[in-house]
């Protein structure tokens, strides 16, 4: 599985990148056929609370799944996105089994 992290208009720290890669690796436990995970991080202007946005796209053999969240921290936004994607992956896997 390939993980691509893109930080728009700022530099993501090594610690944040390691956190994201570790969390994204856990998605493989839910769905084995994940090809690529793309994470886009951006700070929403003006800088107030709830201004960290994370968008995650997961590419699987039969399509793409997407989640986007806005929170106080990038870690929290990534966690919430991955929770949503975990539910989507489980739902997708159930649909594939029914076919």
What CATH number was assigned to the domain covering residues 2-98? 3.30.160.100
Mean pLDDT value across residues 27-48: 90
Structure tokens at 24: 């994204």
Backbone angles phi, psi at 54, to 5 degrees: -120, 130
DSSP per position, 22-86: HHHHTHHHH-TT--EEEEEEEEPSS--SS-EEEEEEEEETTEEEEEEEEESSHHHHHHHHHHHHH
Strands across the sheet with 52-60, in order? Answer: 2-8, 36-43, 52-60, 63-71
* 53-76: average pLDDT: 94
Q: Please give the model's pTM, rounded to 2 decimal places.
A: 0.92
Residue ranges of the domains in the chain?
2-98
Quick one: pLDDT at residue 9? 87
């Amino acid at each position: 599985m390939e993980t691509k992290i893109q930080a728009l208009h700022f530099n993501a720290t090594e610690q944040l990148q390691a956190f994201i890669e570790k969390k994204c690796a856990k998605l493989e436990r839910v769905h084995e056929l994940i090809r690529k995970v793309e994470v886009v991080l951006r700070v929403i202007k003006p800088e107030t609370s709830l201004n960290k946005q994370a968008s995650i796209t997961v590419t699987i053999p039969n399509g793409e799944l997407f989640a986007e969240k806005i929170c106080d921290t990038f870690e929290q936004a990534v966690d919430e996105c991955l929770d949503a994607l975990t539910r989507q992956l489980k739902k997708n896997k159930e649909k594939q089994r029914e076919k």
